[in-house]
Amino acid sequence: MFLLDVEPLDLGSDVRSVGVDLVEEDENREPARGSDAARVWSRLLPILAGEKPWTLDFFSHLDRVRDFCERHGIAFREASQRSIVIPAPQPKELEMLIDRFQNETFGARAGGALPEADSDLEGELAHRGLDAYHAAFPRYYFCGVCNFEEGSLVLLSEKISAGEVIRRARPALGDLDVKIDLPN
């Protein structure tokens, strides 16, 4: 069984954020990894975006990402020389992507001007990695830092709260073996 901890984070006065951690529900609380964890994350990301368009942003190991997408027929866009955008992959594609790349840190974003390109942000991702989201997140419903190797998703957002994450996650994850909690 997994435990999904959802809580507001204090990353400074200029950033509103929510931390979402997926851990094993045992005394060690190790980060959840593997295909079962990928299934949880692949359900959670689209439900958090709701009806808003969303993408995944990759800025490292691009040859592997490109090759994987081409082999599996997953649509992607080369946003810059050093970033790839994958617009709203289908559920099975998303699960495969997360399972394959859960050892990498990558981004997700929803809303804003999507599905149109954001050349300023996409160029900054290539240079600064996910630190580029710091200046850009107010333009989006959320920008997310996906560090699934550590069982972590950090949402930078002025529009989605920890309570809203929990409200959306419960029905989406109801048939999986996941307990959802707001830590003290």
pLDDT, one tens digit per residue, over 133-145 is: 988 999 999 999 9
Number of domains the chain is built from: 1
How long is the chain? 184
The encoded tokens of residue 161 equal: 């709260």
Q: Is residue 184 part of a domain?
A: no
Instruction: For residues 111 and 7, give the distance between their C-alpha atoms in angstroms, rounded to a whole number.
Output: 22
Residue 125's domain spans which residues?
32-157
C-alpha of 163 from chain center: 17
Mean pLDDT, the chain, as a whole number? 92
Instruction: For residues 29 and 4, give the distance between their C-alpha atoms in angstroms, rounded to a whole number.
Output: 11
Q: Is residue 26 part of a domain?
A: no
Q: Is residue 4 part of a domain?
A: no
pLDDT in tens, 115-134: 899 988 988 888 888 889 98
Q: Is residue 138 part of a domain?
A: yes
What share of the chain in percent tops pLDDT 70?
99
Instruction: For residues 172 and 180, give the distance between their C-alpha atoms in angstroms, rounded to a whole number.
Output: 11
**Residue 184, pLDDT score:** 58
The rounded average pLDDT for each run of 10 residues, N- to C-terminus, in the chain (184 residues) is: 90 83 88 94 96 94 95 93 92 96 95 90 87 91 96 94 94 90 68
Q: Is residue 164 part of a domain?
A: no
* Cross-strand bridge partners of residue 61: none
Q: Are 145 and 130 in contact (CB under 8 A)?
A: yes
Instruction: For residues 75 and 23, give the distance between their C-alpha atoms in angstroms, rounded to a whole number.
Output: 31
